[in-house]
Amino acid sequence: MRAVLVVPLAAVASLGLWVVLRAQRRTPGGVVTIEQIGEEAGSLLEEVVVTVRRIGGGSWVLPASGEPYRAMLESASQKYGLPWPLLARVAWQESRFRPDVISGKVRSSAGAVGIMQIIPRWHPELGEAGALDPAQAIPYAAKFLRRLFDKFGSWELALAAYNWGEGNVARSTNESAWPKETFAYVRDVTSDVFGVVA
């Protein structure tokens, strides 16, 4: 896995260096300021930092954009008996802690909203207002993940059910039948949190 990441990380590092040098006016092509680089570059840099930190496996670290939610993530994890990095990593996977996703300004094609990307029509007890409120959505997602873990007996299956749907996983616990997106979701979260590839 480390060898596979070296080339993409080198490319991203090169791009990042170019952006920084460009911002400092050390490259040709006109003047670019840090303000012009914008939120996209900040998100890209944060993803690079998270990726670099996880190369060792099982060493996922909450990115800076997730710090405002740390206490809620830790509290909900403790209350419902989840490893807190698991809940935090799910929140990052779902929203990347982007304000436009958390606020509901950006919605998934499936209708998922908020920090934990909950679909209100499937979770009427929380509703859209609750899904858009991190203080309600985070504990709700923790409780839901715990219930899925208790039902299926593993974090891998609980994560698959969170992503693909509880009924789908109940019908097929065999990962070879999962959609590619679900397989990648489970693989990425578990490798980051537990240091193993599901």
Question: Could you list the active site residues?
Answer: 94
Helix, strand, coil % over all residues of the chain, rounded to 5: 70, 0, 30
Taking each helix axis as running N to C, give the angle between helix 134-152 and helix 84-95, from 0 to 180 degrees, rounded to the nearest 10: 120
> Bridge-partner residues for 113, per DSSP?
118
97: left (phi over 0), alpha (psi -120 to 50) or beta: left
Output phi, psi for 118, to 5 deg. Answer: -90, 140
113: three-class secondary structure by DSSP? strand
Which of these, 197, 190, 196, 160, lies nearest to 175 by C-alpha position?
160
